[in-house]
Amino acid sequence: MIKLVRVDHRLIHGQVALSWTNSIGADCILVADDGVIEDPLQKATLKMAAPHNIKAVIKSVDDSIEAINNGKTENYKLFIVVGSVDSAYRLISGISGVERLNLGGTKVREGTHKISKAINLTADEEAQLRLLKDAGVKIEIQQVPTDAVSEF
């Protein structure tokens, strides 16, 4: 069962590892990120950042879609973390059952503008989020579970 999909360029860190997993009752963090899969050091670091009682899995976006669609994740309370809006869009477009997307943090990059304290989006990313919203996905901006939720 997918508990939450979150966009956070930092992937697994204190807020994700502790606050979010506890808040949503997750027992597995799936990092769906094409860049990390090619970096053994970053993969190892992310796995170490996960709490000892939480399974941490790192896959490409396409492999994540395949694992979810093939039922390999159905016995987990899954918290999916992606590093970008594009990855979230690809992932959610490729699976069913995602009701909400949490925007936790995106870097300032060329061509972005700030829509909240920690969210910086390009025009293309905003278009992807609108498409998800039009498809019925609730888009939330919230850094930690105790913060008030702002809707996109």
Residues labelled catalytic = 13
Q: Please name the helix (run of DSSP H) or strand (run of DSSP E) that holds residue 132, with its range, or none.
A: helix 123-134
Q: Which residues pair with 8 in a beta bridge?
A: 105
* CB neighbour class for 148 (10 Å; exposed up to 12, middle 13-18, buried from 19): exposed
Q: Which residues pair with 114 in a beta bridge?
A: 120
What single letter denotes the amino acid at residue 109?
A: R
Tokens 């829509």, residue located: 115
Beta strands 100-105 and 2-8 are parallel
Residue 53 DSSP symbol: T
